[in-house]
Amino acid sequence: MSCIGIVGGGQLARMLALSGTPLGLGFIFLDPASDACAASLGAHVQGAYDDRRQFRRLAKHADVVTYEFENVPEAAMECLSREVPVYPNAAALATARDRLREKQLFTELAIPTAPHAEVNSLDDLERAAARTGFPAILKTRTLGYDGKGQKTLHGPGDLGPAWSELGRVPLILEGMVRFDREVSCIAVRARNGETAFYPLAENLHREGMLRVSWSRPGDAMTLQMQGYARRVLERLDYVGVLTIEFFQAGDVLMANEMAPRVHNSGHWTIEGAQTSQFENHLRAILGLPLGATEPVGHAAMVNCIGQTPDPAAVLGIPGAHLHRYGKAFRAGRKVGHVTVRADNRTDLEARLNRVL
Ligand code: AMP
């Protein structure tokens, strides 16, 4: 039985393990938290993400290692890669953990992206704002997630305070894109170069956090989106699931960021696609054939933030599936999700409204 090592023991690791269990796979998770929510599905190495000894333990027991977040320190990645195959590779991780490098890659590959500039001083910030205009968004280059590490700037008076608040680390300033909607591409590439793409996901964010994702089979932007994702997969010689988030303005897609991993906007694939993003990530990193990514009807996913709803109420809605991550309830924390499926969009929206 192959053993998969996962850096991180949160809900993504948990859903990877849930999808790999029928394949007879074993799992070992590295996570500093004693109550890591994936831990009940495998072995748990409790240790810090910069503790080389713990990485060696993970490498010793795993046949292949992957990760559920992109903030794995570069030194840790090097240490792991010397001992065991790690997918996605170090180049993908280094690019995806840094918003500036991501945008440089998109630009190199002729993928449109928001106007942006590197910011390492208040002077840089003033020059960058003159280029992007206002409003603009100042973001930390690394370690930001769910809208954290970001400040919206409305005018020159916001530059000094934003710099004081965020300026101790490398930053990027982005022009505010006036988009019609946000979409994402969940793509997967196998070790032999085979690629597959899920239907476009349309995403609704509030306060920087994903709230709802719809699968949009047959969407008009599908080919453009997949073409861009294919360029990234091939350039990085990528193995595993890759997510790219885009803004759509008219018929233009602008890449916002990429995640070298399974993604919240692909959770609907568990019930809404023939093979889930989680199973396909495992198949890819193990060198197995990829599974079909075709949709199963129409699907949408709602995040449960802070708490999960009464199971009896949700499960009484036709086509609804409840996922609880086993995490302690806390305001602003993703603790579960609900997927709704239907044969057509009208029924899907009616069921989704009941969930919401
Ligand atoms: P991010 O952490 O980059 O995914 O940003 C979180 C959310 O903030 C995005 O999903 C958008 O809703 C919004 N956002 C981020 N960057 C921009 C931008 N340059 N223009 C407009 N909205 C943005």
Output the CA–CA distances (angstroms, integers) from residue 78 to 73, 82, 90, 145, in the order listed: 9, 6, 8, 24
Q: What is the mean pLDDT of residues 140-146?
A: 82
CA–CA separation, 194 and 92 (whole Å): 17
pLDDT at 138: 96
- Asked whether residue 78 carries a pLDDT value surpassing 90, the answer given is no
Bridge partners (DSSP) listed for residue 26: 3
**Residue minimizing CA distance to atom 13 of ligand 1:** 208
Q: pLDDT tens, 11-53?
A: 999 999 999 999 999 999 999 999 999 999 999 999 998 888 8
DSSP percent split of the chain into helix, strand, coil, nearest 5: 35, 30, 35
Q: Which of 209, 248, 256 to mutate to test the pocket of ligand 1 (most atoms within 8 A of CB)?
A: 256
Lining residues, ligand 1, CB within 6 Å: 114, 137, 144, 147, 174, 176-177, 182, 205, 208, 245, 256-257
CB 253 within 8 A of CB 200: no
Find the helix or strand (DSSP H, E) in which 67 lies: strand 64-67
Q: pLDDT tens, 87-100?
A: 999 999 999 999 99
Q: pLDDT tens, 229-256?
A: 999 999 999 999 999 999 999 999 999 9
CA of 151 to the centre of ligand 1 (A): 11
Bridge partners (DSSP) listed for residue 5: 28, 65
Q: Which atom of ligand 1 is nearest to the CA of 99?
A: 3
CA of 314 to the centre of ligand 1 (A): 30
- Asked whether residue 355 carries a pLDDT value surpassing 70, the answer given is yes
CB 253 within 8 A of CB 183: yes
Q: What is the mean pLDDT of residues 222-233?
A: 98
CA of 205 to the centre of ligand 1 (A): 9
Find the helix or strand (DSSP H, E) in which 195 lies: strand 195-197
pLDDT at 121: 94
Q: pLDDT tens, 259-288?
A: 999 999 999 999 999 999 999 999 999 999
Q: How confident is the model at residue 178 (pLDDT cuts 50, 70, 90)?
A: very high
**Residue minimizing CA distance to atom 6 of ligand 1:** 208
CA–CA separation, 151 and 146 (whole Å): 13
Could you give the percent of the chain with pLDDT greater than 70? 99
Q: pLDDT tens, 186-197?
A: 999 999 999 999
| Mean pLDDT over each residue of the chain, to the nearest integer | 95
**Residue minimizing CA distance to atom 17 of ligand 1:** 176
Q: How confident is the model at residue 146 (pLDDT cuts 50, 70, 90)?
A: low
pLDDT at 52: 86
How buried is 32 (Cβ within 10 angstroms: 0-12 exposed, 13-18 middle, 19+ buried)?
middle
CA of 177 to the centre of ligand 1 (A): 8
3-state secondary structure of 311: helix
CA–CA separation, 133 and 220 (whole Å): 31
Please tell me the pTM assigned to this model. 0.96
Q: How confident is the model at residue 76 (pLDDT cuts 50, 70, 90)?
A: confident
Q: pLDDT tens, 310-331?
A: 999 999 999 999 999 999 999 9
